[in-house]
């Protein structure tokens, strides 16, 4: 429990003074000193105190059902005091009206503990929390107790009157249902404290534990003495309604003071004790409140100009201190943060980024180098494959070239040159087929047709009459196309000396990819 500040002490002193003043006014009125004037003043004073307490609850307790139930308690207490005042000041001459005003005392007597229990059930929940509907069943016994009291004139099981004739309530005795009515109120009070302590997260020891019980225990003792009709009590504290209302208010205030009922008061003290270096200023950046760290070396003085600069965003006061701000009603809140750890992390991340970038550059170079090596290896593999598959033609070209160099006859040279051109066309086109087969297992009919066209064009230059026909209906397996071209070249080279004409037909027979090259050679 925190100590009271100066403002709270003044409120307590004023409240005590008003309670004593109300007691003095009652004593004067019952002893015949201006009873009407002082009676009304006392009633207005007590009602005003209830209204003031309600305003205080509205300001201090958080929005939501908790505040609603506390305000409902205040409204019932105000109804209780106002009804008591009207009973004694306006209806004293009307026995029935006076008696029913007395009966209606039990409306707040039953509902105040119930609403207090509901308020305790709301503690620890968000503002939008609504009690489960099952708790509405608790209204049933409370309303039943109220109805039993209000219908007492019929059965007189709560209060009995001399001769069975109800009067204003000046002379009565308690009957069998009175303990039942009071027992249910006691159960509600007990459940209220149980739920209150169950919801609390505060350490319970010493005065913190006892304080909320003191007004309640006093009220129980007072009620017992009042029922026993102790003369001294009736003389100095005979206003049972005001005493019970005061005890209820004190119980609620004790719960708020000890933290059992959460409130949003003492913000200035909380802000001052905050470990964050923060300040609250007015519109002109004059400091209104400051936390303790804001006045230390960490929270060095900040100029109004620096404060205004935060309107565009956080600013750096030094390498590690950042000043941020946000608008609030009537001013601004500013706070400083030590971001040295964050800057250290950023530096470390920057260094690691540079290291990773250097590593990435090295990896990229290694990748390009490996890619170049793979390309060269692939080229070498293809060159080896071409050399292996066209080795006879390459060897034959070398032999013909040597013969060409040694020949003196122009006619012989012309023939040798023609054969070299035909073999060269084959090597060119055959190697092209090897490249295509590396990319796909199928070769288009047009590609094979181009190979044959070039070879036949060179044969025509050599003087051979030739033509070909190809019809496969689509793509050809790569190895089949190369075998066809190899077969064509082999036949051409073997028949070259006496070759005068050639006819080549290629087609698919019996749903199988096959070649049927037919060459017709004319006679010499």
- pLDDT of 298 reads 45
Q: Specify if 384 maps to a domain.
A: no
Question: What pLDDT is stored for residue 39 in this prediction?
Answer: 84
Tell me whether residue 381 is in a domain. no
Residues 100, 211 within the same domain: yes
Other Cβ atoms less than 10 A from the Cβ of 335: the count is 21
Look at residue 364 in the predicted model and tell me its pLDDT.
80
Overall pTM > 0.85: no
Q: Is residue 519 part of a domain?
A: no
Return the percentage of the chain with pLDDT > 70, whole number: 86
From 265, 300, 319, the end of a domain falls on 265
For residues 119 and 157, state if they share a domain.
yes
Give the domain extent around 156.
6-265
Q: Is residue 398 part of a domain?
A: yes
Question: What does the pLDDT average to over 354-364?
Answer: 81
Residue 453 placed within a domain: yes
pLDDT in tens, 2-33: 566 677 788 888 988 888 888 888 878 877 88
User: What size, in residues, is the chain?
Assistant: 524
Q: Say yes or no: 123 and 226 in one domain.
A: yes
CATH number at residue 26: 1.20.1070
14 and 104 in one domain? yes
- Rounded to the nearest 10 degrees, the angle between the axes of helix 65-89 and helix 240-258 is 160
Last residue of a domain, one of 235, 265, 295: 265
381-386: average pLDDT: 66
pLDDT of 82 over the 80 cut? yes
Q: Is residue 131 part of a domain?
A: yes
* Contact in structure between 427 and 434 (CB atoms under 8 Å): no
Lowest mean pLDDT among 106-120, 139-153, 208-222: 208-222
Do 261 and 301 belong to one domain? no
Please say whether the beta carbons of 518 and 503 come within 8 A: yes
What confidence score (pLDDT) does residue 524 get?
33
Each residue's pLDDT tens digit, 429-484: 778 877 787 777 888 888 888 888 888 888 887 778 888 888 877 788 888 888 88
Residue 353 lies in a domain: no
**3-state SS assignment for residue 175:** coil
Write out the two tokens for 489.
């070249």
Long-range Cβ contacts of 129-132 (<8 Å, 24+ apart): 129/64, 129/65, 130/65, 131/65
Please check whether residue 347 lies inside any domain of the structure: no
pLDDT reading at 128 higher than 50:
yes
How many whole angstroms separate alpha carbon 141 and alpha carbon 132? 18
> Do 408 and 334 share a structural domain?
no
User: Is the pLDDT confidence value at 123 over 50?
Assistant: yes
For 70-84, 387-401, 509-523, which range has the lowest pLDDT when averaged over its residues?
509-523
Same-domain pairing of 183 and 41: yes
How many structural domains is the chain composed of? Answer: 3
Residue 177 pLDDT grade (very low, low, confident, very high; cuts 50, 70, 90): very high
- H/E element, 358: helix 340-389
pLDDT at 295: 53
> Are 255 and 301 contained in the same domain?
no
Q: Residues 484-512: what's their mean pLDDT?
A: 78
* Residues 273 and 251 occupy one common structural domain: no
More confident position, 226 or 265: 226
Among the residue ranges 56-70, 166-180, 202-216, the one predicted with the least confidence is 202-216
Annotate 404-444 with DSSP letters as a single string.
Answer: HHH---HHHHHHHHHHHHHHHHHHHHHHHHHHHHHH-SEE-
Residues 232, 334, single domain; the answer is no
419, 289: one domain = no
Could you read off the pLDDT of 271-311 as tens digits, one per residue? 666 667 778 888 888 887 777 665 554 445 677 788 888 88
Same domain, 297 and 430: no
Q: Which of 322, 338, 354 represents a domain boundary (last residue)? A: 338
The full DSSP string for 274-337 is -SSEEEEEETT--EEEE-GGGGSSTT----HHHHHHGGGS-EESSSSEEEEEEEETTEEEEEEE
CB 519 within 8 A of CB 502: yes
CB neighbours (10 Å) of residue 150? 15
The whole-chain average pLDDT of the chain stands at 80
Tokens of 461: 């230059």
């Amino acid at each position: 429990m925190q100590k009271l500040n100066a403002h709270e002490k003044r409120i307590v002193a004023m409240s005590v003074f008003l309670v004593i003043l109300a007691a003095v006014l009652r004593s004067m009125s019952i002893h015949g000193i201006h009873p009407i004037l002082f009676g009304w003043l006392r009633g207005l004073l007590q009602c005003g105190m209830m209204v003031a307490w309600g305003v205080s609850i509205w300001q201090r307790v958080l929005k939501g059902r908790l505040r609603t139930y506390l305000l409902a308690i205040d409204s019932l207490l105000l109804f209780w005091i106002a009804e008591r005042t009207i009973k004694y000041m306006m209806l004293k001459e009307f026995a029935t009206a006076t008696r029913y005003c007395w009966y209606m005392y039990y409306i707040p007597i039953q509902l105040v503990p119930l609403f207090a229990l509901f308020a305790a059930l709301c503690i620890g929940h968000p503002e939008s929390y609504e009690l489960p509907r099952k708790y509405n069943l608790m209204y049933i016994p409370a309303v039943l107790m109220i109805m039993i009291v209000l219908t007492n004139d019929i059965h007189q099981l709560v209060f009995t009157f001399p001769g069975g004739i109800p009067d204003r309530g000046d002379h009565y005795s308690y009957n069998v249902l009175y303990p039942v009515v009071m027992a249910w109120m006691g159960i509600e009070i007990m459940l209220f404290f149980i739920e209150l302590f169950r919801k609390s997260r505060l350490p319970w020891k010493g005065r913190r534990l006892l304080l909320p019980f003191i007004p309640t225990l006093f009220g129980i003792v007072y009620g017992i003495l009042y029922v026993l009709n102790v003369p001294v009590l009736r003389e100095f504290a005979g206003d049972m309604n005001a005493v019970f209302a005061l005890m209820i208010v004190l119980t609620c205030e004790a719960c708020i003071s000890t933290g059992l009922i959460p409130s949003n008061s003492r913000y200035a003290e909380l802000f001052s004790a905050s470990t964050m270096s923060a300040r609250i200023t007015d519109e002109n950046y004059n400091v209104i409140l400051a936390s303790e760290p804001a006045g230390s070396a960490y929270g060095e003085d900040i100029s109004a100009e620096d404060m205004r600069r935060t309107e565009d965003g956080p600013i750096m006061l030094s390498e590690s201190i950042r000043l941020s701000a946000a608008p609030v009603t009537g001013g601004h809140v500013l706070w400083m943060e030590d971001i040295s750890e964050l800057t250290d992390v950023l530096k470390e991340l920057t260094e690691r980024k540079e290291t990773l970038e250097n590593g990435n550059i090295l990896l990229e170079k290694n990748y390009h180098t490996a890619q170049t090596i793979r390309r060269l290896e692939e080229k070498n593999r293809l060159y080896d494959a071409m050399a292996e598959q066209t080795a006879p033609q390459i060897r034959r070209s070398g032999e013909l070239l040597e013969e060409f160099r040694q020949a003196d006859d122009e006619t012989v040279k012309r023939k040798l040159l023609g054969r070299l051109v035909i073999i060269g066309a084959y090597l060119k086109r055959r190697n092209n087929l090897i490249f295509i087969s590396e990319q796909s297992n199928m070769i288009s009919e047009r590609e094979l047709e181009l190979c044959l066209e070039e070879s036949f064009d060179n044969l025509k230059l050599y003087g051979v009459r030739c033509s070909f026909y190809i019809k496969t209906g689509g793509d050809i397996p790569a190895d089949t196309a190369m075998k066809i071209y190899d077969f064509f070249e082999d036949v051409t080279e073997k028949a070259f000396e006496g070759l005068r004409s050639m006819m080549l037909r290629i087609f698919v027979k019996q749903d199988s990819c096959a070649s049927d090259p037919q060459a017709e050679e004319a006679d010499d």
